[in-house]
Amino acid sequence: MTIPAPESILPEGTQRTYQVRTFGCQMNVHDSERLSGLLENAGLVEAQGAQADVVVFNTCAVRENADNKLYGNLGQLAPVKEQNPGMQIAVGGCLAQKDRETILKKAPWVDVVFGTHNVGSLPTLLERARHNNEAQLEILESLDVFPSTLPTKRDAVYSGWVSISVGCNNTCTFCIVPSLRGKERDRRPGDILSEIQALVDDGAIEVTLLGQNVNSYGVEFGDRGAFAKLLRACGGIEGLERVRFTSPHPAAFTDDVIDAMAETPNVMPQLHMPLQSGSDKVLKDMRRSYRSTKFLGILDKVRDRIPHAAISTDIIVGFPGETEEDFQATLDVVEKSRFATAFTFQYSKRPGTPAAELPDQLPKSVVQERYERLTALQDRISAEENAKQVGRRVEVMVTAQQGRKASETHRLSGRSRDQRLVHFSVPAGAEPPRPGDLVTVAITEAAPFHLVADPASAADYSLRRSRAGDAWDRSQAESCGVPSAGATSGAKAAVSLGMPVLPVRSN
Protein backbone atom coordinates (compact mmCIF):
# COMPACT_ATOMS: atom_id res chain seq x y z
CA MET A 1 0.00 0.00 0.00
CA THR A 2 1.25 3.48 -0.84
CA ILE A 3 1.11 5.86 2.12
CA PRO A 4 0.18 9.41 1.12
CA ALA A 5 2.94 11.98 1.34
CA PRO A 6 2.60 14.35 4.29
CA GLU A 7 1.51 17.24 2.12
CA SER A 8 -1.48 15.26 0.84
CA ILE A 9 -2.87 15.04 4.38
CA LEU A 10 -1.81 18.38 5.87
CA PRO A 11 -3.31 21.76 5.07
CA GLU A 12 -0.64 23.94 3.53
CA GLY A 13 1.74 25.55 6.01
CA THR A 14 0.57 23.59 9.07
CA GLN A 15 1.45 20.36 10.80
CA ARG A 16 -1.48 18.37 12.10
CA THR A 17 -1.47 16.51 15.39
CA TYR A 18 -2.88 13.12 16.32
CA GLN A 19 -3.95 11.12 19.36
CA VAL A 20 -4.54 7.34 19.49
CA ARG A 21 -6.85 6.11 22.23
CA THR A 22 -6.51 2.38 22.91
CA PHE A 23 -9.07 0.07 24.50
CA GLY A 24 -8.58 -3.64 25.16
CA CYS A 25 -5.83 -6.22 25.06
CA GLN A 26 -2.10 -6.28 24.38
CA MET A 27 -2.82 -6.94 20.70
CA ASN A 28 -4.62 -3.62 20.53
CA VAL A 29 -1.77 -1.86 22.34
CA HIS A 30 0.61 -3.29 19.74
CA ASP A 31 -1.70 -2.29 16.86
CA SER A 32 -1.77 1.25 18.25
CA GLU A 33 2.00 1.38 17.90
CA ARG A 34 1.47 0.74 14.19
CA LEU A 35 -1.27 3.36 13.92
CA SER A 36 0.99 5.95 15.56
CA GLY A 37 3.85 4.97 13.26
CA LEU A 38 1.66 5.27 10.17
CA LEU A 39 0.41 8.70 11.17
CA GLU A 40 3.90 10.00 11.93
CA ASN A 41 5.15 8.51 8.67
CA ALA A 42 2.40 10.55 6.98
CA GLY A 43 3.62 13.76 8.58
CA LEU A 44 1.49 14.14 11.72
CA VAL A 45 2.93 14.68 15.19
CA GLU A 46 1.61 13.41 18.49
CA ALA A 47 -0.58 15.94 20.32
CA GLN A 48 0.95 17.22 23.54
CA GLY A 49 -1.86 18.45 25.76
CA ALA A 50 -3.86 20.40 23.17
CA GLN A 51 -6.82 18.93 21.30
CA ALA A 52 -5.56 16.71 18.47
CA ASP A 53 -6.51 17.32 14.85
CA VAL A 54 -6.91 13.56 14.28
CA VAL A 55 -8.27 11.29 17.01
CA VAL A 56 -8.13 7.53 16.43
CA PHE A 57 -10.00 5.03 18.58
CA ASN A 58 -8.55 1.52 18.56
CA THR A 59 -11.43 -0.45 20.00
CA CYS A 60 -12.13 -3.73 21.78
CA ALA A 61 -15.30 -5.83 21.43
CA VAL A 62 -14.70 -8.43 24.14
CA ARG A 63 -16.55 -6.77 27.01
CA GLU A 64 -20.21 -5.73 27.05
CA ASN A 65 -19.43 -2.13 27.99
CA ALA A 66 -17.04 -1.69 25.04
CA ASP A 67 -19.87 -0.20 22.95
CA ASN A 68 -20.89 2.24 25.68
CA LYS A 69 -17.28 3.29 26.23
CA LEU A 70 -16.74 4.06 22.54
CA TYR A 71 -20.00 5.90 21.94
CA GLY A 72 -19.56 7.85 25.17
CA ASN A 73 -16.16 9.05 23.97
CA LEU A 74 -17.48 9.81 20.48
CA GLY A 75 -20.37 11.79 22.00
CA GLN A 76 -17.93 13.95 23.96
CA LEU A 77 -16.00 14.73 20.76
CA ALA A 78 -19.06 15.73 18.69
CA PRO A 79 -19.22 19.36 19.96
CA VAL A 80 -15.42 19.59 19.86
CA LYS A 81 -15.42 18.66 16.20
CA GLU A 82 -18.25 21.09 15.48
CA GLN A 83 -16.03 23.88 16.78
CA ASN A 84 -13.03 22.54 14.81
CA PRO A 85 -14.25 21.72 11.27
CA GLY A 86 -10.85 20.40 10.15
CA MET A 87 -10.74 17.80 12.91
CA GLN A 88 -11.02 14.12 11.91
CA ILE A 89 -12.15 11.11 13.96
CA ALA A 90 -11.34 7.51 13.03
CA VAL A 91 -12.56 4.26 14.63
CA GLY A 92 -10.70 1.00 14.15
CA GLY A 93 -10.14 -2.31 15.92
CA CYS A 94 -12.44 -5.16 16.87
CA LEU A 95 -15.59 -3.13 17.54
CA ALA A 96 -15.23 -1.44 14.15
CA GLN A 97 -14.81 -4.86 12.51
CA LYS A 98 -18.01 -6.03 14.24
CA ASP A 99 -20.30 -2.98 14.09
CA ARG A 100 -19.25 -1.52 10.72
CA GLU A 101 -22.08 0.73 9.44
CA THR A 102 -23.59 0.96 12.93
CA ILE A 103 -20.82 3.29 14.06
CA LEU A 104 -21.55 5.78 11.28
CA LYS A 105 -25.29 5.58 12.00
CA LYS A 106 -24.84 6.24 15.71
CA ALA A 107 -22.02 8.77 15.27
CA PRO A 108 -22.27 10.35 11.80
CA TRP A 109 -19.54 12.84 12.71
CA VAL A 110 -16.96 10.01 12.47
CA ASP A 111 -14.77 10.34 9.35
CA VAL A 112 -13.21 6.88 9.02
CA VAL A 113 -14.14 3.36 10.11
CA PHE A 114 -11.57 0.63 9.44
CA GLY A 115 -11.20 -2.96 10.62
CA THR A 116 -8.63 -5.24 12.17
CA HIS A 117 -7.37 -6.48 8.80
CA ASN A 118 -6.51 -3.14 7.20
CA VAL A 119 -4.72 -1.09 9.85
CA GLY A 120 -2.31 0.11 7.16
CA SER A 121 -5.12 1.87 5.26
CA LEU A 122 -5.68 4.56 7.89
CA PRO A 123 -3.65 7.41 6.29
CA THR A 124 -5.24 6.80 2.88
CA LEU A 125 -8.75 6.69 4.35
CA LEU A 126 -8.18 9.93 6.27
CA GLU A 127 -6.98 11.68 3.12
CA ARG A 128 -9.89 10.30 1.10
CA ALA A 129 -12.41 11.45 3.73
CA ARG A 130 -10.86 14.93 3.72
CA HIS A 131 -10.73 15.16 -0.06
CA ASN A 132 -14.26 13.80 -0.67
CA ASN A 133 -15.74 15.47 2.41
CA GLU A 134 -17.57 12.28 3.35
CA ALA A 135 -17.05 9.39 5.76
CA GLN A 136 -15.00 6.41 4.62
CA LEU A 137 -15.81 2.82 5.65
CA GLU A 138 -13.38 0.04 4.77
CA ILE A 139 -13.66 -3.39 6.41
CA LEU A 140 -11.69 -6.29 4.96
CA GLU A 141 -12.51 -9.93 5.71
CA SER A 142 -8.91 -11.13 5.64
CA LEU A 143 -5.52 -9.71 6.50
CA ASP A 144 -4.26 -7.09 4.05
CA VAL A 145 -0.67 -6.64 5.24
CA PHE A 146 0.94 -8.37 8.22
CA PRO A 147 1.01 -5.58 10.83
CA SER A 148 4.68 -6.05 11.66
CA THR A 149 5.65 -4.75 8.21
CA LEU A 150 4.07 -1.35 8.96
CA PRO A 151 5.84 1.70 10.42
CA THR A 152 5.90 1.72 14.20
CA LYS A 153 6.15 4.35 16.92
CA ARG A 154 7.05 2.71 20.22
CA ASP A 155 6.55 4.50 23.50
CA ALA A 156 9.72 3.50 25.37
CA VAL A 157 13.14 2.12 24.65
CA TYR A 158 13.79 -0.63 27.15
CA SER A 159 11.25 -3.30 26.09
CA GLY A 160 8.89 -4.09 23.25
CA TRP A 161 6.09 -6.25 21.92
CA VAL A 162 6.88 -8.59 19.03
CA SER A 163 3.92 -10.19 17.29
CA ILE A 164 4.52 -13.82 16.29
CA SER A 165 1.03 -14.45 14.92
CA VAL A 166 -2.36 -12.83 14.41
CA GLY A 167 -5.81 -14.38 14.58
CA CYS A 168 -7.00 -17.51 16.36
CA ASN A 169 -8.13 -21.01 15.35
CA ASN A 170 -9.95 -21.78 18.61
CA THR A 171 -13.74 -21.75 18.95
CA CYS A 172 -14.32 -20.71 22.59
CA THR A 173 -18.05 -20.04 22.89
CA PHE A 174 -17.63 -16.81 24.85
CA CYS A 175 -15.07 -15.22 22.54
CA ILE A 176 -15.74 -13.00 19.54
CA VAL A 177 -12.05 -12.49 18.68
CA PRO A 178 -11.69 -15.26 16.01
CA SER A 179 -14.55 -13.82 13.97
CA LEU A 180 -13.01 -10.34 14.15
CA ARG A 181 -9.31 -11.11 13.73
CA GLY A 182 -9.67 -14.19 11.53
CA LYS A 183 -7.82 -17.49 11.40
CA GLU A 184 -4.31 -17.67 12.78
CA ARG A 185 -1.53 -16.41 10.56
CA ASP A 186 2.04 -17.18 11.66
CA ARG A 187 5.12 -15.12 10.93
CA ARG A 188 8.25 -16.91 9.81
CA PRO A 189 10.79 -17.39 12.62
CA GLY A 190 13.47 -15.47 10.74
CA ASP A 191 11.23 -12.40 10.46
CA ILE A 192 10.46 -12.51 14.17
CA LEU A 193 14.10 -12.88 15.17
CA SER A 194 15.09 -10.06 12.82
CA GLU A 195 12.57 -7.73 14.48
CA ILE A 196 13.84 -8.74 17.94
CA GLN A 197 17.41 -8.08 16.84
CA ALA A 198 16.40 -4.64 15.54
CA LEU A 199 14.84 -3.82 18.91
CA VAL A 200 17.97 -4.97 20.74
CA ASP A 201 20.14 -2.92 18.39
CA ASP A 202 18.01 0.11 19.36
CA GLY A 203 18.63 -0.51 23.05
CA ALA A 204 15.82 -2.84 24.19
CA ILE A 205 16.75 -5.55 26.67
CA GLU A 206 13.28 -7.10 27.01
CA VAL A 207 10.72 -8.41 24.51
CA THR A 208 7.29 -9.96 24.90
CA LEU A 209 6.23 -12.40 22.19
CA LEU A 210 2.59 -11.77 21.39
CA GLY A 211 -0.16 -13.94 19.90
CA GLN A 212 -3.75 -14.94 20.54
CA ASN A 213 -2.45 -18.47 21.22
CA VAL A 214 1.33 -18.63 21.17
CA ASN A 215 1.34 -22.41 21.73
CA SER A 216 -0.16 -23.08 18.31
CA TYR A 217 2.55 -21.02 16.63
CA GLY A 218 4.07 -22.98 13.72
CA VAL A 219 1.00 -25.03 12.82
CA GLU A 220 0.49 -22.93 9.68
CA PHE A 221 3.91 -23.89 8.33
CA GLY A 222 3.90 -27.44 9.69
CA ASP A 223 6.12 -27.29 12.77
CA ARG A 224 4.30 -27.98 16.04
CA GLY A 225 7.52 -27.51 17.99
CA ALA A 226 8.16 -24.07 16.53
CA PHE A 227 7.31 -22.06 19.65
CA ALA A 228 9.76 -23.90 21.89
CA LYS A 229 12.41 -23.51 19.19
CA LEU A 230 11.64 -19.78 18.98
CA LEU A 231 12.13 -19.38 22.74
CA ARG A 232 15.49 -21.13 22.54
CA ALA A 233 16.50 -19.00 19.56
CA CYS A 234 15.76 -15.88 21.62
CA GLY A 235 18.31 -17.17 24.09
CA GLY A 236 21.00 -16.76 21.47
CA ILE A 237 20.43 -13.04 20.90
CA GLU A 238 23.24 -11.14 22.58
CA GLY A 239 22.02 -8.24 24.69
CA LEU A 240 18.47 -9.61 25.07
CA GLU A 241 18.08 -10.10 28.82
CA ARG A 242 14.38 -10.76 29.32
CA VAL A 243 11.92 -12.73 27.17
CA ARG A 244 8.23 -13.07 28.00
CA PHE A 245 5.20 -14.31 26.05
CA THR A 246 1.41 -14.07 26.12
CA SER A 247 -0.96 -15.77 25.87
CA PRO A 248 -0.70 -19.55 25.84
CA HIS A 249 -3.64 -21.98 25.82
CA PRO A 250 -3.64 -24.90 28.31
CA ALA A 251 -4.92 -27.33 25.68
CA ALA A 252 -1.85 -26.75 23.49
CA PHE A 253 0.76 -26.20 26.20
CA THR A 254 3.44 -28.88 25.79
CA ASP A 255 6.42 -30.11 27.77
CA ASP A 256 8.91 -28.87 25.17
CA VAL A 257 7.82 -25.29 25.95
CA ILE A 258 8.34 -25.89 29.68
CA ASP A 259 11.79 -27.31 28.93
CA ALA A 260 12.64 -24.29 26.74
CA MET A 261 11.53 -21.92 29.50
CA ALA A 262 13.59 -23.72 32.12
CA GLU A 263 16.71 -24.10 29.98
CA THR A 264 16.85 -20.67 28.30
CA PRO A 265 18.33 -18.18 30.79
CA ASN A 266 16.71 -15.07 29.37
CA VAL A 267 13.18 -16.55 29.34
CA MET A 268 11.65 -15.17 32.51
CA PRO A 269 10.23 -17.30 35.36
CA GLN A 270 6.73 -16.02 34.71
CA LEU A 271 3.73 -17.56 32.98
CA HIS A 272 0.26 -16.28 32.15
CA MET A 273 -1.98 -19.36 31.86
CA PRO A 274 -5.71 -18.61 31.34
CA LEU A 275 -7.96 -20.90 33.42
CA GLN A 276 -11.35 -19.29 32.62
CA SER A 277 -13.17 -21.79 34.88
CA GLY A 278 -12.32 -24.57 37.32
CA SER A 279 -15.48 -26.51 36.48
CA ASP A 280 -15.07 -29.26 33.90
CA LYS A 281 -18.72 -28.85 32.89
CA VAL A 282 -18.28 -25.11 32.29
CA LEU A 283 -14.99 -25.68 30.46
CA LYS A 284 -16.82 -28.09 28.16
CA ASP A 285 -19.59 -25.53 27.58
CA MET A 286 -16.87 -22.95 26.83
CA ARG A 287 -15.23 -25.39 24.34
CA ARG A 288 -11.94 -24.96 26.12
CA SER A 289 -10.77 -28.53 25.27
CA TYR A 290 -8.92 -29.13 28.56
CA ARG A 291 -10.09 -29.97 32.06
CA SER A 292 -9.05 -28.80 35.51
CA THR A 293 -6.84 -31.83 36.16
CA LYS A 294 -4.76 -31.10 33.05
CA PHE A 295 -4.54 -27.43 33.98
CA LEU A 296 -3.24 -28.17 37.46
CA GLY A 297 -0.84 -30.74 36.00
CA ILE A 298 0.71 -28.07 33.76
CA LEU A 299 1.27 -25.80 36.75
CA ASP A 300 2.91 -28.67 38.66
CA LYS A 301 5.29 -29.34 35.76
CA VAL A 302 6.18 -25.65 35.43
CA ARG A 303 6.90 -25.32 39.13
CA ASP A 304 8.90 -28.54 39.17
CA ARG A 305 11.23 -27.16 36.46
CA ILE A 306 11.01 -23.47 37.48
CA PRO A 307 10.42 -23.45 41.27
CA HIS A 308 10.06 -19.67 41.68
CA ALA A 309 7.81 -19.12 38.65
CA ALA A 310 5.02 -16.60 39.17
CA ILE A 311 1.84 -17.72 37.41
CA SER A 312 -1.08 -15.45 36.53
CA THR A 313 -4.41 -16.29 34.93
CA ASP A 314 -7.74 -15.14 33.49
CA ILE A 315 -11.05 -16.27 35.02
CA ILE A 316 -14.64 -15.68 33.89
CA VAL A 317 -17.38 -15.69 36.53
CA GLY A 318 -21.04 -16.33 35.75
CA PHE A 319 -20.83 -18.20 32.45
CA PRO A 320 -24.34 -19.31 31.35
CA GLY A 321 -25.45 -22.36 33.31
CA GLU A 322 -22.73 -22.02 35.95
CA THR A 323 -24.11 -23.54 39.17
CA GLU A 324 -22.94 -22.90 42.71
CA GLU A 325 -21.18 -26.27 42.51
CA ASP A 326 -19.42 -25.18 39.30
CA PHE A 327 -18.33 -21.94 40.92
CA GLN A 328 -17.03 -23.79 43.97
CA ALA A 329 -14.91 -25.89 41.60
CA THR A 330 -13.35 -22.65 40.32
CA LEU A 331 -12.62 -21.54 43.89
CA ASP A 332 -11.02 -24.93 44.59
CA VAL A 333 -8.75 -24.73 41.54
CA VAL A 334 -7.76 -21.15 42.39
CA GLU A 335 -6.85 -22.25 45.92
CA LYS A 336 -4.69 -25.08 44.58
CA SER A 337 -3.10 -22.97 41.81
CA ARG A 338 -1.71 -20.24 44.06
CA PHE A 339 -1.74 -17.64 41.31
CA ALA A 340 0.45 -14.60 41.84
CA THR A 341 -2.35 -12.54 40.29
CA ALA A 342 -5.56 -13.11 38.37
CA PHE A 343 -7.51 -11.03 35.89
CA THR A 344 -11.11 -11.76 36.84
CA PHE A 345 -14.11 -10.90 34.67
CA GLN A 346 -17.85 -11.11 34.98
CA TYR A 347 -19.27 -12.97 31.97
CA SER A 348 -20.31 -10.53 29.28
CA LYS A 349 -22.92 -11.58 26.74
CA ARG A 350 -21.62 -10.72 23.29
CA PRO A 351 -23.95 -10.92 20.26
CA GLY A 352 -22.48 -13.23 17.63
CA THR A 353 -20.95 -15.68 20.10
CA PRO A 354 -22.46 -19.15 20.74
CA ALA A 355 -22.56 -18.48 24.50
CA ALA A 356 -24.94 -15.57 23.93
CA GLU A 357 -27.56 -18.07 22.76
CA LEU A 358 -27.14 -20.50 25.65
CA PRO A 359 -30.00 -20.91 28.14
CA ASP A 360 -29.62 -20.16 31.84
CA GLN A 361 -28.02 -16.72 31.54
CA LEU A 362 -27.34 -15.81 35.17
CA PRO A 363 -28.82 -12.79 36.98
CA LYS A 364 -26.42 -9.90 37.48
CA SER A 365 -26.79 -10.13 41.26
CA VAL A 366 -25.62 -13.74 41.29
CA VAL A 367 -22.64 -13.01 39.06
CA GLN A 368 -21.66 -10.00 41.16
CA GLU A 369 -21.79 -11.95 44.42
CA ARG A 370 -19.63 -14.75 43.00
CA TYR A 371 -17.21 -12.25 41.52
CA GLU A 372 -16.72 -10.65 44.91
CA ARG A 373 -16.05 -14.02 46.54
CA LEU A 374 -13.53 -14.94 43.87
CA THR A 375 -11.64 -11.65 44.05
CA ALA A 376 -11.54 -11.84 47.85
CA LEU A 377 -10.00 -15.31 47.63
CA GLN A 378 -7.45 -14.28 45.00
CA ASP A 379 -6.56 -11.10 46.89
CA ARG A 380 -5.76 -13.24 49.93
CA ILE A 381 -3.65 -15.66 47.89
CA SER A 382 -1.82 -12.81 46.14
CA ALA A 383 -1.02 -11.26 49.52
CA GLU A 384 0.23 -14.60 50.87
CA GLU A 385 2.37 -15.30 47.81
CA ASN A 386 3.82 -11.79 47.84
CA ALA A 387 4.59 -12.12 51.56
CA LYS A 388 6.90 -15.01 50.68
CA GLN A 389 9.00 -12.54 48.70
CA VAL A 390 9.94 -10.47 51.76
CA GLY A 391 13.68 -10.80 52.39
CA ARG A 392 14.44 -12.05 48.86
CA ARG A 393 16.87 -10.07 46.72
CA VAL A 394 15.33 -9.41 43.32
CA GLU A 395 16.55 -7.81 40.12
CA VAL A 396 14.21 -5.02 39.02
CA MET A 397 14.14 -3.46 35.57
CA VAL A 398 13.26 0.19 36.13
CA THR A 399 10.31 1.54 34.15
CA ALA A 400 9.26 5.08 33.33
CA GLN A 401 5.90 4.54 35.07
CA GLN A 402 5.68 5.49 38.73
CA GLY A 403 3.29 4.45 41.45
CA ARG A 404 0.35 6.65 42.39
CA LYS A 405 2.03 7.62 45.66
CA ALA A 406 5.48 8.23 44.17
CA SER A 407 5.40 11.93 44.99
CA GLU A 408 4.86 11.06 48.67
CA THR A 409 7.11 8.01 48.98
CA HIS A 410 9.83 9.15 46.53
CA ARG A 411 9.99 5.57 45.27
CA LEU A 412 10.69 4.47 41.72
CA SER A 413 9.01 1.47 40.10
CA GLY A 414 9.95 -1.51 38.02
CA ARG A 415 9.33 -5.18 37.28
CA SER A 416 11.14 -8.12 38.80
CA ARG A 417 12.15 -11.07 36.65
CA ASP A 418 8.90 -12.84 37.57
CA GLN A 419 6.92 -9.71 36.52
CA ARG A 420 5.92 -8.61 40.01
CA LEU A 421 5.58 -4.85 40.41
CA VAL A 422 8.21 -3.45 42.77
CA HIS A 423 8.28 0.06 44.22
CA PHE A 424 11.75 0.83 45.57
CA SER A 425 13.66 3.72 47.08
CA VAL A 426 17.20 4.80 46.34
CA PRO A 427 19.23 5.10 49.56
CA ALA A 428 21.06 8.31 50.36
CA GLY A 429 24.37 8.55 48.55
CA ALA A 430 23.48 5.91 45.93
CA GLU A 431 23.25 6.65 42.23
CA PRO A 432 19.66 6.79 40.93
CA PRO A 433 18.77 4.56 37.96
CA ARG A 434 17.31 5.50 34.61
CA PRO A 435 14.37 3.67 32.97
CA GLY A 436 15.90 0.53 31.49
CA ASP A 437 18.60 0.19 34.15
CA LEU A 438 18.54 -2.76 36.56
CA VAL A 439 18.69 -2.55 40.33
CA THR A 440 19.01 -5.41 42.81
CA VAL A 441 17.26 -4.85 46.13
CA ALA A 442 15.83 -6.89 49.00
CA ILE A 443 12.05 -6.88 49.39
CA THR A 444 11.06 -5.24 52.69
CA GLU A 445 7.24 -5.13 52.44
CA ALA A 446 4.50 -6.91 50.52
CA ALA A 447 0.96 -6.01 49.49
CA PRO A 448 -1.48 -8.01 47.33
CA PHE A 449 -0.64 -6.13 44.15
CA HIS A 450 2.94 -4.91 44.63
CA LEU A 451 6.16 -5.30 46.56
CA VAL A 452 8.22 -2.63 48.34
CA ALA A 453 11.99 -2.44 48.70
CA ASP A 454 13.46 0.25 50.96
CA PRO A 455 17.22 -0.41 51.27
CA ALA A 456 18.61 0.69 54.63
CA SER A 457 21.88 1.85 53.10
CA ALA A 458 23.76 2.07 49.82
CA ALA A 459 25.32 -1.31 50.64
CA ASP A 460 21.87 -2.92 50.29
CA TYR A 461 21.34 -1.43 46.83
CA SER A 462 23.02 -2.47 43.60
CA LEU A 463 22.68 -0.61 40.30
CA ARG A 464 23.61 -1.97 36.88
CA ARG A 465 23.51 0.68 34.19
CA SER A 466 22.33 -0.89 30.96
CA ARG A 467 22.26 -0.34 27.22
CA ALA A 468 18.53 0.32 27.63
CA GLY A 469 19.28 3.10 30.11
CA ASP A 470 21.76 4.59 27.63
CA ALA A 471 19.06 4.42 24.93
CA TRP A 472 16.63 6.15 27.29
CA ASP A 473 19.13 8.98 27.75
CA ARG A 474 19.50 9.33 23.98
CA SER A 475 15.75 9.33 23.37
CA GLN A 476 15.19 12.00 26.00
CA ALA A 477 18.00 14.15 24.62
CA GLU A 478 16.73 13.80 21.06
CA SER A 479 13.18 14.69 22.07
CA CYS A 480 14.56 17.91 23.58
CA GLY A 481 17.11 18.49 20.83
CA VAL A 482 19.97 18.29 23.33
CA PRO A 483 22.86 15.83 22.88
CA SER A 484 23.24 13.37 25.74
CA ALA A 485 26.49 12.39 27.41
CA GLY A 486 27.96 9.41 25.63
CA ALA A 487 25.49 9.54 22.75
CA THR A 488 27.08 8.68 19.44
CA SER A 489 26.70 10.98 16.47
CA GLY A 490 23.69 10.11 14.35
CA ALA A 491 22.36 7.52 16.79
CA LYS A 492 18.81 6.50 16.02
CA ALA A 493 16.06 7.01 18.57
CA ALA A 494 15.10 3.75 20.23
CA VAL A 495 11.79 2.28 19.11
CA SER A 496 10.44 -0.17 21.64
CA LEU A 497 7.37 -0.32 23.83
CA GLY A 498 7.46 -0.71 27.62
CA MET A 499 5.57 -3.38 29.50
CA PRO A 500 2.03 -2.28 30.35
CA VAL A 501 1.02 -1.41 33.86
CA LEU A 502 -1.34 -3.98 35.37
CA PRO A 503 -4.86 -2.54 35.09
CA VAL A 504 -6.84 -1.62 38.17
CA ARG A 505 -9.44 -4.30 38.70
CA SER A 506 -13.01 -3.11 38.22
CA ASN A 507 -16.40 -4.72 38.40
Binding residues: 25, 60, 94, 168, 172, 175
DSSP 203: T
Q: What is the CA 129 to chain-centroid distance, rounded? A: 31
Annotated binding site for [4Fe-4S] cluster: 25, 60, 94, 168, 172, 175
- Cα separation, 178 vs 172, whole angstroms: 9
How many beta carbons lie within 10 A of that of residue 354, not counting itself? 15
- How do strand 438-442 and strand 445-447 relate by DSSP bridges? unpaired
Are 419 and 244 within 8 A, CB to CB? yes
Helices marked H in 306-392 = 324-337, 364-387
Radius of gyration of the chain (CA): 23
- Cα separation, 63 vs 349, whole angstroms: 8
Closest by CA to 261, choosing from 205, 209, 316, 314, is: 209
- Cα separation, 394 vs 386, whole angstroms: 13
CB neighbour list of residue 484: distance below 8 Å, 6 or more residues apart: 473, 474, 476, 477
Closest by CA to 202, choosing from 397, 435, 471, is: 471
Number of H helices, E strands in the chain: 16, 21
- Cα separation, 207 vs 216, whole angstroms: 19
